[in-house]
Copies of this chain bind each other. A is one copy, B any other.
Amino acid sequence: MSGFRHIALFRWIEGTTTGQQDEVAAKLRELPGAIPEIREYGVGVNAGVNPGAYDFAVVADFAGLDDYLVYRDHPVHRAAVDDYITPITAERASIQYEL
C-alpha cells in the first residue's frame, strides 16, 4: 500500500484530567468528517504497559504528502490543536513518512 503517514505522540502536563484527554480525542475524531483528505485516522490512549510511555497517540494516513499538508494546516485541525491540545501538552514527538 502506498500513502503517507503522520504520527504524533503526546505527553500531557502534570494534572491533566481524563476528561481533558477525552475532549482531545473527541475533537480529533471529528476531523475526518471535516477534512476529506484524511484517508484513515486513529487516536490511542496509553495502555500503561511500559514505564516512560507517552500518554496519547494520533496516527493519520493520507494518499500523499499534499493531502497531509491540507490536514496539517486545516483551520479545523489548527483550532483543535490550539484550543485543546497545546494547553495540556508537555512533550510532543512526531514523524511523517511514506508508506
**A63 interface contact, C-beta 8 A:** no
Contact of A95 among B4, B9, B68, B72 (CB under 8 A): B9
Contact of A97 among B47, B93, B94 (CB under 8 A): B47
**A79 interface contact, C-beta 8 A:** no
Contact A98/B59 with A7-B9, A54-B93, A93-B9 known, Cβ cut-off 8 Å: no
B42-A95 in contact (CB<8A): no
Residues of A within 8 A of B (CB): 4-5, 7, 9, 42, 44-47, 49-50, 52-57, 59, 65, 68-69, 72, 91, 93-99
* 18 further contact pairs, Cβ within 8 A, besides A44-B97, A47-B96: A7-B7, A42-B99, A44-B95, A45-B97, A46-B95, A46-B96, A46-B97, A47-B97, A49-B96, A50-B94, A50-B96, A52-B94, A53-B94, A53-B95, A53-B96, A54-B94, A57-B97, A91-B93
